[in-house]
Amino acid sequence: RTVYVNGEYLPEHEAKVSVFDRGFLMADGVYEVTSVLGGKLIDFEGHATRLARSLSELQIRKPMEDEALLEIHRELVARNGIEEGLIYLQITRGAPNDRDFMFPPEETEPTVVLFTQSKLGLAESPAAKTGIKVISIPDIRWGRRDIKTVQLLYPSMGKMMAKAAGADDAWMVEHDHVTEGTSNNAYIVKGDTIITRQLSHEILHGITRAAVLRFAREAQMKVEERAFSIEEAKQADEAFITSASTFVMPVVEIDGVSVGRGTPGPVAARLREIYIEESRKAGI
């Protein structure tokens, strides 16, 4: 695999960053994951816009224009022959010459790393046909979840807790309401209404969420942006998640309780179909 690191395309075993990198020492960095369908980038503009916002909120210098970023994405897709998969991008505050809590001097170059992950079956995912099971766990993350930082220890632990419980993922709960999944936004369906938490500092503003809600509204489906509890979710007709790596994925069980009939529901299935179809058309 060819990876990109600080201006160079290198074989993955030759790609290196400093031990003093702020990303490594302090999780002082942000990331994006963009999907590739049919060799095309899905929602690149949305990811580039959110990246710029994450950087700006943390006062990390934006290392290049979106056009240059797009070129790197495309170059990696071409060099690695990615038909279907993901592109991971990470930008950190860079590597000063020592460990220090204080931000390094202005002139410190941000570290930029991108690599691809080939994932055939992203669109024709078997999990989308059976649905996934989630457990609920307390949300103990920091208060700026709208910034896509690389602090993923708790989400990673959440996925391990889910696995230990025989489930696939975890929904996080704060003040009795679901915030989001460990790496995705959470939804329920009641009657003909799609319900998902409103945007705030408490959740990541999913790029897939924005697209799916737009498609839902265009298809005259009802959307309610509000918080919901795990109890309400268990009694819903359907549940699902969205993210760049899962698109729209049905949730059929929450804490061991079947949602609806315990099989993927029609709303999630339809939204998945629309999302994939429209994304294929709009990919660049």
Catalytic residues: 148
Q: Tokens for 77?
A: 């897709």
Site for ligand PLP in 74-113 (CB under 6 A): none
Q: What minimum distance in Å lies between the beta carbon of 10 and ligand PLP?
A: 26
Region binding ligand PLP by CB under 6 A among candidate stretches 3-11, 16-24, 182-190, 262-270: 182-190
Contact status: 196 vs ligand PLP (CB under 6 A):
no
Q: Determine the Cα–Cα distance for residues 249 and 109; give it in Å rounded to an integer.
A: 38
Contact 221, 194 (CB under 8 A): yes
Which residues, in sequence order, are bridge partners of residue 187?
196, 240
Of 116, 112, 90, 128, nearest to 35 (Cα)? Answer: 116
Burial environment of residue 191 by CB neighbours within 10 A (0 to 12, 13 to 18, 19 or more): exposed
Q: What minimum distance in Å lies between the beta carbon of 181 and ligand PLP?
A: 6
Contact 114, 84 (CB under 8 A): no
Contact status: 244 vs ligand PLP (CB under 6 A):
yes
Helix, strand, or coil (residue 186)? strand
Q: Tokens for 101?
A: 């809590």
Q: What minimum distance in Å lies between the beta carbon of 208 and ligand PLP?
A: 3
Q: Please identify which residue in 116, 183, 196, 279 interacts with ligand PLP, judged by CB under 6 A.
A: 183
Q: Determine the Cα–Cα distance for residues 70 and 76; give it in Å rounded to an integer.
A: 10
Number of chain positions touching ligand PLP (CB under 6 A): 13
Helix, strand, or coil (residue 106)? coil
Contact status: 279 vs ligand PLP (CB under 6 A):
no
Residue span 199-238 as binding mask against ligand PLP, x where in contact by CB under 6 A, dash where not? -----x-xxxx-----------------------------
Site for ligand PLP in 31-70 (CB under 6 A): 33
CB closer to ligand PLP out of 155 and 260:
155
**Antiparallel, parallel or unpaired: β 222-225 and 193-196:** parallel
Q: Please identify which residue in 111, 185, 196, 279 interacts with ligand PLP, judged by CB under 6 A.
A: 185
Contact status: 180 vs ligand PLP (CB under 6 A):
yes
The site for ligand PLP (CB under 6 A) is made up of 33, 180, 183-185, 204, 206-209, 242-244
